[in-house]
Amino acid sequence: MRKYENSLPLKLLKAREAAMSFFRPMLQEHSITEQQWRVLRVLNDHEEMETKQLAETCCILSPSLTGIIQRLEQQEYVQRRKSPDDHRRTLISATEKARNLLEEMAPKVDASYTRLTSSLSKEKMDILNELLTDVSQIKP
């Protein structure tokens, strides 16, 4: 067995922690968790989504997403409605309040992303993006 410190899952976790350290302060400033931020970012790019699709896109387990949606709904950042085609399906959308928050945060997010990626050349960023996409598509 390979040494723990050389394991791919650990290296990916460390890279995630390093990347998120650029964004956590502004999320905390707005009392938004990382998972809530993922949901808001995805909903900002889609008019509305079914909960199952939202969970998959955000890489959040469905039971966890339920609580996240409840808290975002209490904060008036999302709204839900039953699908007119199938009342068993619930559709989630971002509210105007959420869109305003994302617009307000966008310059800081962009600046943090620039600080994060400036340590790597464009070529390395392209390679990293390609490798991460490849790894994420591997199925057991």
Mean pLDDT along residues 25-36: 95
CATH 3.60.130.10: does it fit domain 4-108? no
Residue 135 C-beta-side C-alpha neighbours within 13 Å: 10
Q: What is the pLDDT of residues 84-128, one digit of tens each?
A: 888 888 999 999 999 999 999 999 999 999 999 998 999 999 999
Cβ-based burial of 93 (10 A; exposed 0-12, middle 13-18, buried ≥19): middle
Residue pair 70/93 in contact (Cβ under 8 Å)? The answer is no
How far is the C-alpha of 43 from the C-alpha of 45, rounded, in Å?
5
pTM, rounded to two decimals: 0.88
pLDDT surpasses 80 at 2: no
Q: Where are the alpha helices (DSSP H) in 6-138?
A: 8-20, 24-29, 34-45, 51-58, 62-74, 96-117, 122-136
Domain extents in the chain? 4-108
The pLDDT, as a whole number, for residue 16 is 95
